[in-house]
């Protein structure tokens, strides 16, 4: 048995336990359907780290729901997020919150790599989105696992740490439960979804996002 496939078994079990997840693309977004979801009740999610950028005193909070396997999310991070970060997050105007969505086991594996060392999360997330087509490849699980490990290594993670993160079944279950709780509470049906001070918006261009943010900041 391939060692990586064995190590990733816990993550695969966790995503299966959350219910069958599938996605279907439509212009600008990716829709979510959860089949026979299992209640997250009883799963401890207190150890899951909320990934944020920017000042807690920012005038606007923007929460993005996204999946590392969502092509529209990759496009958002390449075409919109860099400008958003430069103009609003780094300047203290906007607090950014990133929340994972898991369409499939591969998105969960990618998140577990990115979350392996929280201080490196956004750097690894940038790599995952920029190289999304490459690491997903033809969808072969062993190949995906190998390429995700290589991304982690290039990002500066130790091989032993990567192995431990991917083998952490409890963390995988916590992440899936945390995703379910957030997505249900905020009624998330597709990615990327943006919550701007709690108001829901779908995928959009940077000029459109800038217009909404400026109106919020001026108000």
What structural domains and CATH numbers belong to the chain?
A: 3-35+58-207 (3.40.30.10)
What are residue 218's phi and psi, to 5 degrees? -75, -25
Q: In the predicted model, is pLDDT for residue 4 greater than 50?
A: no
Helices then strands, counting H and E runs in the chain, come out as 11, 8
pTM (2 d.p.): 0.84
pLDDT of residue 18: 39
pLDDT tens for residues 123-163?
999 999 999 999 999 999 999 999 999 999 999 999 999 99
pLDDT tens for residues 16-30?
433 333 333 334 544
Q: In the predicted model, is pLDDT for residue 183 greater than 80?
A: yes
More confident residue, 4 or 99: 99
CA distances from residue 199 to 64, 186, 207 in whole angstroms, order as listed: 11, 10, 18
pLDDT of residue 25: 37
pLDDT tens for residues 72-110?
999 999 999 999 999 999 999 999 999 999 988 899 999
pLDDT of residue 53: 98
- In order, the DSSP letters of 41-55 are TT---TTPPPEEES-
């Amino acid at each position: 048995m391939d060692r990586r496939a064995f190590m990733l078994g816990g993550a695969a079990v966790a995503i299966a336990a959350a219910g069958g997840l599938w996605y279907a693309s439509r212009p600008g977004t990716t829709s979510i359907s959860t089949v026979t979801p299992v209640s997250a009740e009883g799963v401890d999610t207190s150890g899951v780290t909320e990934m944020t950028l920017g000042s807690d005193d920012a005038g606007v909070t923007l929460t993005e729901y996204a999946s590392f396997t969502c092509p529209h999310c990759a496009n958002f991070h390449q075409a919109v997020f860099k400008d958003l970060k430069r103009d609003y997050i780094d300047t203290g105007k906007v607090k950014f919150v990133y929340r994972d969505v898991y369409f499939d086991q591969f998105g969960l594996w990618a998140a577990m790599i990115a979350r392996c060392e929280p201080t490196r999360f956004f750097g690894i997330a940038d790599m995952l989105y920029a190289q999304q087509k490459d690491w997903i490849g033809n969808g072969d699980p062993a190949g995906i696992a190998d390429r995700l490990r290589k991304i982690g290594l290039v990002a500066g993670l130790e091989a032993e740490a990567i192995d431990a993160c991917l083998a952490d079944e409890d963390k995988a279950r916590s992440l899936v439960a945390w995703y379910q709780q957030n997505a249900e509470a905020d009624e998330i049906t597709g990615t990327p979804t943006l919550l701007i001070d709690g108001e829901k918006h779908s995928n959009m261009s940077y000029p459109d996002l800038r217009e909404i943010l400026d109106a919020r900041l001026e108000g």
